[in-house]
Amino acid sequence: MRTLAKDILEGKLTGEAEVSGWVHRIRELGGITFVILRDRSGVLQLVLQDTEKPSLTLESVIRARGIPALNEKAPGGTELRVTSLEIISRAAPDLPYQVNGDLAKIGLESILDNRTLSLRNPKIRSIFKVQATIIEAFAAYLRGQDFTEIKTSKLVAGGTEGGTELFEVEYFDRKVCLAQSPQYYKETMVASGLERVFEIAPAYRAEKHDTPRHLNEYVSLDVEMGFIESEKDLIELEKGVLSNVFEEVIRKNSNDVAAWNSTVPDPALVSKAPTVPYDEAMKIATSEAAKSKGGGGKIFDINPEAERFLCTWAGREHGIELIFVNQFPRRHRPFYTYPLDLGDGKASSTMSFDCLFRGLEITTGGKRQHDYNAFLEVLPRFGLKPEDMENYITLLKYGCPPHGGFAIGCERLTQKILGLANVKEASLFPRDRKRVLP
Amino acid sequence: MRTLAKDILEGKLTGEAEVSGWVHRIRELGGITFVILRDRSGVLQLVLQDTEKPSLTLESVIRARGIPALNEKAPGGTELRVTSLEIISRAAPDLPYQVNGDLAKIGLESILDNRTLSLRNPKIRSIFKVQATIIEAFAAYLRGQDFTEIKTSKLVAGGTEGGTELFEVEYFDRKVCLAQSPQYYKETMVASGLERVFEIAPAYRAEKHDTPRHLNEYVSLDVEMGFIESEKDLIELEKGVLSNVFEEVIRKNSNDVAAWNSTVPDPALVSKAPTVPYDEAMKIATSEAAKSKGGGGKIFDINPEAERFLCTWAGREHGIELIFVNQFPRRHRPFYTYPLDLGDGKASSTMSFDCLFRGLEITTGGKRQHDYNAFLEVLPRFGLKPEDMENYITLLKYGCPPHGGFAIGCERLTQKILGLANVKEASLFPRDRKRVLP
């Protein structure tokens, strides 16, 4: 009967115990061999007398029996004095790199090329323990608000936002595309009467740029909600989601976060995150740019630089590097975004928002047009024809409530909670223009 | 401030209330109009005096204010006497079919073609409320057993099981495939030290057949677990998963299940489901076939017919139509399946299993080969070369624990819990050879 390292360290066992795991470290000392065994719960020191010492290699999987004994020099204060040891799977000695070493010395490409090994490093693995908590906390919060989880097709006849940046799939005798977002489907599910839905699923962007903030395949944490007044209802909802995510990561992953020398924002501060209209955000970003080292000119867009300035400003003025920018101009948003008239009678703005966290956009969202006639009216301005929009037209024609939603990039949120330099570090098997393996 | 129908029916409000939702039914009676309003919580009768009656169409989205009043003739025993009513989104009068009617009269193709409307039928929508519970209960049970949720790439360089039945994707300047299963990735994550992982994600099979049991895109509930002895550990785990799923569906979705005149198996009976080796299963199926109407010949494979016979047998002999068939012959299983010697010295069997539920295979699983040398040895027998298996070789070369896993088809499990005739009914936006819309 297998026991976990953690249970032995917690003193749950006194008699003989059996442990299994990987050989994390081997040290010889005056005829005695100390082996650090690693399992999913942590590490445990095994003490082997010369007589029982088989020929061990790092990363081999072993099973050991022995008697737990206190030793203040051992990690966790308890060791296992081994009476028998068996090699279950011998690791070849030519490890591409040392799992127990400092991964900072190994480049990102090598970490990603050798996921089988790099993920054995507890610090690297901790990224995905945090990510699992993010996903769980996202879903749990929304279920508590009466949201239903949905699973929709990732094979679509065309893109929601037009034909660009789509990956094509050979689907029997025709071509379809990988979905950029479950946008249309989640709107359909709101209008179906579920009213409040969320989906956790892959999304695809055939963008060519290779930057520390882009992935061609990512996990999209999607939300859609009916019977809202404006994007402000969505911002309130996202604050609730983020607050719960932060709370759960603090509760479950404090060691994982500490491994990255990061800290999770205080969940109580999330409600204090400012909401700033686009025009004002521009001014703030421009003013922050001017204050920054070497000055800086006027900011003309909420670009990556502006995102960093705005988060710095929010951190200083509101105590949390989290800010919602709303009221994006019409030209920056997809055709289905709900219009907003800021007083010029031209409805040149929209009920839309971005959420920026620690210098990075992690969410785009907004209220959608639910009015059939208004929808038809706006199509020509975007070069679209009603006959290409048959799905949307059915959706809006037969009674559609006011609604809206947003999507959180799961890897980006993971990245920013842990302070990772590159979003690819937060994807188990990231896909970029060059990488399709492993 | 919006109130849900349910809250009014439960008598939570006494003063004026505001409700929003869809017009489910309209009935005129002696100058009074009765409108059944439908929202995500249920239905509520609105009573309109002639004077306030706007021109309503079925399925329009409306907002109404009024005073709740007891009326034993109203659904749920309470109605809302309307003081003001507003149309938020008028539905066109040319509904493709009546949402409030009997959907049994409408064919499956029409239901799938018009998802926006068909999902408004509470009975159809209930399928996906049950599905949401299945997904939640699957994840919750595994988390309770120390499993970590993972998200892996669906774009892979080649298929795990060889090159057949794969959809090709144009990925920048090369071709990749849609993943048939996260098999390799979940094995990697076990060997990474997470030891126990699960994934909820789409999976793709480019199979040409169009049957009531096939989908080309489905939600795979995947599990992988390290440090197992044999497939029997996996069967025990799946029993725990299914038992929890049944328990949660009973707790949360009794009305949804009743709408389909179905019953959920008693969770306490899951542990009594038999595990029967392949050879014996054949004999049972053959014997059941002989007993069935019109006799029947020898069964040569666990085909759909045999699956039905075996479940009938399990229901009669063990009280639950759930059966695990293990020890599949070598030729029926992928190359990485762990061999089993049944005494003939030829290891012609495997540590594998299928789970059959109510006449349908819902799971395939097994222990995998974790021994590097044994893996290399078996490849030529499957016409495979080590150089094509680089990923697997890295996985096994550097210390891999004994492990195995399984995948439950989410739509199939949904189908069988509710007794749906076709698995496509259990997919929101199913994909088959002909269908890529909506």
Task: For residue range B54-101, list pLDDT tens digits in order.
Answer: 789 999 999 999 999 999 999 999 999 999 999 999 999 999 888 888
- Shortest CA gap B171–chain A (Å): 6
- Shortest CA gap A290–chain B (Å): 40
pLDDT at B332 over 80: yes
- Give which of B24, B115, B151, B160 to mutate to test A binding, by max A Cβ within 10 Å: B151
- Give which of B155, B173, B176, B398 to mutate to test A binding, by max A Cβ within 10 Å: B398
Task: Note whether B20 contacts A: Cβ–Cβ < 8 A.
Answer: yes
Q: What per-residue confidence (pLDDT) applies to B143?
A: 98
Q: Distance between CA atoms of A432 and A109, rounded to whole angstroms?
A: 12
Q: What per-residue confidence (pLDDT) applies to A263?
A: 98
Closest by Cα among A203, A224, A218, A219 to A148: A224
| Chain B residues closer than 8 Å to A188 by CB | 115-116, 119, 438
Tell me if A195 and B39 make a contact (CB, 8 A cut-off). yes
pLDDT at A243 over 90: yes
Chain B, residues 137-166, CB within 8 A of chain A, namely 139, 143, 146, 148-157
What are the tens digits of pLDDT across the range B249-286?
A: 999 999 999 999 999 999 999 999 999 999 999 999 99
- Give which of B130, B153, B204 to mutate to test A binding, by max A Cβ within 10 Å: B153
Spell out the SS3 assignment of chain A: CECCHHHHHCCCCCCCEEEEEEEEEEEEECCEEEEEEEECCEEEEEEEEHHHCCCCCCCCEEEEEEEEEECCCCHHHEEEEEEEEEEEECCCCCCCCCCCCCHHHCCHHHHHHCHHHHCCCHHHHHHHHHHHHHHHHHHHHHHHCCCEECCCCCEECCCCCCCCCCCEEEECCEEEEECCCCHHHHHHHHHHHHCEEEEEEEEECCCCCCCCCCCCEEEEEEEEEECCCCHHHHHHHHHHHHHHHHHHHHHHCHHHHHHCCCCCCCHHHHHHCCEEEHHHHHHHHHHHHHHCCCCCCCCCCCCHHHHHHHHHHHHHHHCCCEEEEECCEHHHCCCCECEECCCCCCCCEECEEEEEECCEEEEEEEEECCCHHHHHHHHHHHCCCHHHHHHHHHHHHCCCCCEEEEEEEHHHHHHHHHCCCCHHHHCCCCCCCCCCCC
Of B168, B395, B429, the CB nearest to A116: B395
Chain A, residues 186-205, CB within 8 A of chain B, namely 188-189, 191-196, 200-202
pLDDT at A368 over 90: yes
**To the nearest whole percent, how much of chain A has pLDDT over 70?**
97
Weakest-pLDDT range from A91-95, A157-161, A423-427: A157-161
Chain B, residues 252-271, CB within 8 A of chain A, namely none
What are the tens digits of pLDDT across the range A310-359?
A: 999 999 999 999 999 999 999 999 999 999 999 888 889 999 999 999 99
| Chain B residues closer than 8 Å to A219 by CB | 151
The answer to whether A171 and A109 are in contact (CB under 8 A) is no
pLDDT at B217 over 70: yes
Give the largest Cα separation in chain A, rounded.
88
Q: Distance between CA atoms of B250 and B305, rounded to whole angstroms?
A: 29
Tell me if A371 and B125 make a contact (CB, 8 A cut-off). no
Residues 6+ apart with CB under 8 A from B227: A2, A20, B195, B401, B402, B403
Measured between its terminal Cα atoms, the distance across chain B in Å is 34
- Shortest CA gap A265–chain B (Å): 23
| Chain B residues closer than 8 Å to A402 by CB | 88-89
**To the nearest whole percent, how much of chain B has pLDDT over 70?**
97
The answer to whether A152 and A199 are in contact (CB under 8 A) is yes
How many Å is the Cα radius of gyration of chain B? 26
Tell me if A399 and B23 make a contact (CB, 8 A cut-off). yes
pLDDT at B225 over 60: yes
pLDDT at A161 over 60: no
Domains and CATH numbers, chain B: 5-89 (2.40.50.140), 117-426 (3.30.930.10)
Of A89, A151, A156, the CB nearest to B219: A151
pLDDT band at B296 (very low <50, low <70, confident <90, very high): low
Q: What per-residue confidence (pLDDT) applies to A296?
A: 67
Measured between its terminal Cα atoms, the distance across chain A in Å is 34
pLDDT band at B11 (very low <50, low <70, confident <90, very high): confident
pLDDT at B161 over 70: no
Counted across chains A and B, CB pairs separated by less than 8 A come out at 245
The answer to whether B30 and B66 are in contact (CB under 8 A) is no
pLDDT band at A52 (very low <50, low <70, confident <90, very high): low
Task: Note whether B110 contacts A: Cβ–Cβ < 8 A.
Answer: no
Q: Distance between CA atoms of A329 and A319, rounded to whole angstroms?
A: 28
The residue type of A380 is P
- Give which of B141, B429, B431, B437 to mutate to test A binding, by max A Cβ within 10 Å: B429
Q: What per-residue confidence (pLDDT) applies to A295?
A: 64
Question: To the nearest whole number, what is the mean pLDDT of chain A?
Answer: 93
pLDDT at A199 over 80: yes
Specify which residues A360 forms β-bridges with. A357
What are the tens digits of pLDDT across the range B233-247?
A: 999 999 999 999 999
Q: What per-residue confidence (pLDDT) applies to B74?
A: 95
For residues A50-67, average pLDDT? 88
Give the 3-state secondary structure of residue B279: helix
10 Å Cβ neighbour count for B203? 23
Residues 6+ apart with CB under 8 A from B111: B103, B118, B124, B425
